[in-house]
């Protein structure tokens, strides 16, 4: 039992080193990706004002949609109001 516990502790230490290296590499790739694609990915889901009824809709699990100035009817409205 002592041997098994010792082996587990050693493997956790080595696994921690691998996780630190993995997080560092992913952070570098994330920063590179942000710099390369900054502003290029503008395809976003926007909510149409036709579906904005200010009432509870049973088809959406009793969720309520409210019209406000952050609700756009098209992607062009989203781009111009940004």
Question: Are 1 and 27 contained in the same domain?
Answer: yes
Token pair recorded at residue 33: 């990706």
29 close to 21: Cβ distance less than 8 angstroms: no
What is the structure's pLDDT at 28? 97
**Segment among 16-30, 36-50, 58-72 with least mean pLDDT:** 58-72
Question: Are 5 and 25 contained in the same domain?
Answer: yes
Strand, coil or helix: what is 71?
coil
Predicted confidence band of residue 6 (pLDDT cuts 50, 70, 90): very high
Question: Are 34 and 57 contained in the same domain?
Answer: no
Predicted confidence band of residue 31 (pLDDT cuts 50, 70, 90): very high
Token pair recorded at residue 27: 């952070």
Strand, coil or helix: what is 61?
coil
Q: What is the mean pLDDT of residues 24-46?
A: 80
Question: Are 37 and 47 contained in the same domain?
Answer: no
**Segment among 21-30, 34-43, 58-67 with least mean pLDDT:** 58-67
Report the C-alpha gap between 57 and 74 in whole angstroms. Answer: 21
pLDDT at 75 over 80: no
């Amino acid at each position: 039992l002592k041997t098994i516990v010792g082996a587990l502790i050693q493997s956790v230490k080595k696994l921690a080193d691998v996780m630190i290296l993995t997080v560092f590499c992913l952070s570098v790739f994330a920063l590179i990706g942000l710099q390369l694609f900054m502003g290029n990915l503008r395809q976003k889901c926007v909510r149409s004002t036709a579906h904005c009824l200010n009432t509870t809709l049973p088809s959406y699990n009793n969720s309520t949609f409210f019209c406000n100035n952050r609700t756009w009817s098209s992607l062009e409205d989203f781009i111009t109001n940004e």
